[in-house]
Chains A and B, each alone.
Chain A
């Protein structure tokens, strides 16, 4: 197991190196940040000085090597726009996105999996059809539209929930969290619901398909022949057997939501990393873009590694292979 993790971490280093080249070249190929950053009226001298300060007069390979050189010292560079180091900037925005993502993905799973299992257990019932109907809605209606509708209904029409921003936060481990205050939850609810709907739909489908398949197996028949109740069968047998695909999707959704909750964060003006990256693209703030994309790649590596470890915990048959 330890050997497996070490091997994966070494692979991760290689992946990160490749990603850094791709991201750096990709980001530096588009646009000219000087045009955005400096007023068109500026003198030629000021322009050239700015270009030199940002290191933009160097050839691309030299810029990349400088970047990597700083990177290994833990320095992602400074934001063109804010002038401050990039890493603290991103990390200061991360908790807001992290809590939004956690609430959305965990909530979608806790609600979606039981409903999906029910829909798979009684596929012809009225309730199952209603659940599947909602899941189709969650799949097919675009996030931005649902976000706007949620604001319209809950914030504009009824005025019971705020339309945006984080609300009150409380410090824990030196980081401010909305989930620790009632007011924070009120602010969190709508954006989380908005994000969760698609994930909920996916969890429902996944749990339903898995349950339908498992219910037909001899494992379930044998458990029934032993007199086990349907509740026991669903909880102890079926849930354990469908857990693996659910964990996979949970992990991937968690990673991608953390990275790209852009639409929801924009609509609800949630001050998370999604909004940061959109703003930095608009201002061609290259260091922020590069650092952010590399961070996203790192998240995904971490998520995949975690999923693989959880697999081994969930499926004893994988333990032999992991050990060898």
Chain B
């Protein structure tokens, strides 16, 4: 099998609301290679999580995918019958969420709820499922896993709970795991541990990751390529080093400039002026234009993606000229 593991093309997801239709994801296109870690960054409401859920076909009605395609190893997922989608979830693509305290069921034993994820795809004996659960828990760094299968989530620390969630995602050896801000709810020292472990796990198991985060620093330590989203669109894509050293889109540049690491002691942190647009009243043309220092009349028209080698952006006035 050749070609990328996951290809997303022109993906559009809409939510009808009382006030009008919210297009949370607008013609998003990207790909993920097998075993690759792709960073997906953007601020709250930029559509990054909805992109993740759209890939899995887990958009809650009345929201729905209205266009585009998601192909996993050549197989189209958009429009797949619910039964086939369910069989694919967890087995081909798994997902880890932000807050492990909310994702794990508080009234089920760890071993039992993880076994449910195995039984969803295979008929195996309870003992075999239990053994595999213990094995994967050990893999994600839970000490004495076999004896903790009968524990409940509240008996674990936040970091341990997230390890349990990650182990649940790994149970059926998926080719891709979508990680939706899995370290945001954890404290910093635990974050660093989990990041290191996830990188090692992805490498050892050959699992590709889509790492969704608003934290550029986290993503830069993990991902090999990065996608920046703004107001439902991918506005910049490229290898992480190149994007970080020479961002093309003014928004990506603004994000980098506002990193605390770039701040001068005693001065306020840099910030992007203005606030993200309401998804119900997007400006015509480039959604970032009202906040952009470089915007002019040309920005009233939607910029087409500029492709240059590995890199891609949507801007009439990029900072750097595309170099290949």
* A binding-site residues for B, Cβ under 8 Å: 216-219, 221-229, 232, 236-237, 240-241, 243, 314-317, 320
Contact = CB atoms under 8 A, between A and B. Distances in A.
B102 A217 contact: yes
7 contacts: A218-B103, A222-B95, A226-B171, A228-B116, A232-B119, A236-B116, A315-B107
Contacts of A237: 105, 108
A317 B109 CA distance: 11
A315 B89 CA distance: 29
Contact of A222 (B60, B87, B97, B154): B97
Contacts of A240: 105, 107-108
**A219, A240, A317 — which one has the most chain B CB atoms within 10 A of its CB?**
A219
A228 B102 contact: no
A179 to B, nearest CB: 33
B95 A227 contact: no
Contacts of A243: 107
Contacts of B97: 218, 221-222, 225
Interface string B38-64: 000000000000000000101010000
Given A221-B97, A222-B165, A225-B94, A232 B116 contact: yes
Contacts of B89: 224-227
B234 to A, nearest CB: 23
Given A223-B105, A226-B168, 15 more contacts: A218-B103, A221-B97, A222-B97, A226-B94, A226-B116, A226-B117, A226-B172, A227-B87, A228-B90, A228-B116, A229-B86, A232-B116, A241-B105, A316-B106, A316-B154
Contact of A227 (B102, B106, B172): B172
A227 B121 contact: yes
A316 to B, nearest CB: 4
B152 interface: yes
Nearest to B151: A316
Contact of B120 (A217, A218, A227, A317): A227
B90 A225 contact: yes
Contact of B102 (A219, A314, A315, A317): A219
Interface string B117-128: 101110000000
Secondary structure of the A side of the interface?
helix
A139 B154 CA distance: 38
A222 B95 CA distance: 7
A218 B102 contact: yes
Contact of A316 (B58, B103, B152, B171): B152
B91 to A, nearest CB: 6
Nearest to B88: A227
Given A226-B90, A227-B121, A218 B99 contact: yes
B116 A317 contact: no
Contacts of B120: 226-229, 232
B223 interface: no
Nearest to A214: B105
B104 interface: yes
Contacts of B169: 225-226
Contacts of B107: 240-241, 243, 314-317
A320 B89 CA distance: 35
Nearest to A317: B154
B168 to A, nearest CB: 6
Contacts of B91: 227
Contacts of A226: 89-90, 94, 116-117, 120, 168-169, 171-172
Contact of A223 (B56, B99, B116): B116
A243 B154 CA distance: 18
A200 B87 CA distance: 36
B99 A317 contact: no
A315 B103 CA distance: 16
A227 to B, nearest CB: 3
Interface in B261-290: none
A216 B86 CA distance: 18
A236 B172 contact: no
B157 to A, nearest CB: 15
Contacts of B90: 225-228
Contacts of A236: 108, 113, 116
A317 B117 contact: no
A224 B58 CA distance: 8
B103 A219 contact: yes
Nearest to A319: B152
A227 B171 CA distance: 11
Contacts of B58: 221, 224-225
A235 B169 CA distance: 21
A225 B102 contact: no
A222 B169 CA distance: 9
A207 B249 CA distance: 51
Contacts of B116: 223, 226, 228, 232, 236
A314 B108 CA distance: 9
Contacts of A221: 58, 97, 103
